[in-house]
């Protein structure tokens, strides 16, 4: 469904070239849970940006559902991210003047009653059923991240990209967050690509890929 072939991302700094991602090929099947681990600076986040269309590769190709990103315009990639992908980042990035429920609805593509009901259900499922109208500053950090997870899932994305979703959380809360994502995958929602530096978070993953110096290593 999501595949990358000989993917590379170079950064030019002064006269030298740094290879953030170096000739990576990868397939993420429908409904699969792929973990991506590696030390800081190994290129796992950069790989995720390439796979999600947030960045254009220096070389190689990425395609989703047989559509090559190279053939998509910037607007086309944006539409893809908006409609087919979900994102969870290390920080929650909640809009601080909106309630938990409204923040979830920020991720919705259609803003109808069904979506609203689904958003509420998601918030119930992540344990925030009684905090729908709370603002971000009224929630704990873990609760905020759970709202961010609900926001990433509300439009039922085909692929959820999670970039260090547990980095700013304690162990238990981190597990909760990853479990929420895993539940979505288990319930047939879509594929899951989780980037983390903590392999313990990937106990449910189908595959765990190790990255080092921009290259994929055997896990």
Residues that bind another protein (CB under 8 A): 45, 49, 54-55, 75, 78-83, 85-87, 89-91, 93, 95-98, 102-103, 105-107, 111-113, 115-116, 163
Rounded least distance, CB 98 to another protein, Å:
5
Rounded least distance, CB 174 to another protein, Å:
17
Give the residue with the Cβ less far from another protein, 13 or 218: 13
Return the half-sphere exposure (C-beta side, CA atoms, 13 A cut-off) of residue 45.
12
Give the residue with the Cβ less far from another protein, 73 or 218: 73
Burial per residue of 163-187, b for 16 or more beta-carbon CB atoms within 10 angstroms, e otherwise: bbbbbbbeeebbbbbbbbbbebbee
Strand partners, 17: 12
Return the half-sphere exposure (C-beta side, CA atoms, 13 A cut-off) of residue 63.
9
Rounded least distance, CB 95 to another protein, Å:
5
Give the residue with the Cβ less far from another protein, 42 or 45: 45
Rounded least distance, CB 162 to another protein, Å:
12
Phi-psi region of 66 (alpha: psi -120 to 50; beta: other; left: phi over 0): left
Is residue 192 within 8 Å of residue 181, measured between CB atoms?
yes
Q: Where are the beta strands (DSSP E) in the chain?
A: 2-13, 16-28, 33-37, 59-64, 67-68, 85-88, 159-163, 191-196, 207-212, 215-217
Give the residue with the Cβ less far from another protein, 37 or 77: 77
Q: What's the first-to-final CA gap in the chain, in angstroms? A: 22
Give the residue with the Cβ less far from another protein, 75 or 172: 75
Strands 191-196 and 207-212: unpaired
Give the residue with the Cβ less far from another protein, 15 or 73: 73
């Amino acid at each position: 469904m999501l595949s990358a072939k000989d993917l590379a991302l170079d950064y030019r700094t002064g006269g030298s070239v740094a290879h953030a991602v170096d000739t990576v090929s990868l397939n993420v099947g429908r409904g699969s849970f792929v973990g991506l681990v590696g030390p800081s600076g190994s290129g796992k986040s950069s790989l995720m940006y390439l796979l999600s269309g947030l960045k254009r590769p220096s070389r190689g190709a990425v395609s989703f559902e047989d559509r090559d990103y190279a053939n998509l315009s910037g607007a086309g990639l944006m539409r893809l991210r908006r409609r087919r992908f979900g994102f969870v980042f290390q920080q929650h990035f909640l809009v601080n003047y909106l309630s938990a429920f409204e923040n979830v609805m920020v991720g919705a593509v259609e803003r109808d009653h069904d979506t609203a009901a689904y958003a509420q259900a998601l918030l119930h499922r992540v344990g925030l059923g009684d905090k729908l109208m709370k603002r971000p500053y009224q929630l704990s950090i873990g609760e905020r991240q759970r709202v961010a997870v609900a926001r990433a899932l509300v439009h039922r994305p085909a692929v959820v990209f999670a970039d260090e979703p547990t980095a700013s959380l304690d162990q238990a809360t981190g597990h909760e967050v990853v479990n929420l994502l895993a539940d979505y995958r288990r319930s047939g929602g879509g594929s899951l690509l989780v980037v983390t530096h903590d392999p313990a978070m990937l106990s449910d993953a189908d595959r765990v890929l190790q990255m080092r110096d921009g290259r994929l290593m055997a896990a």
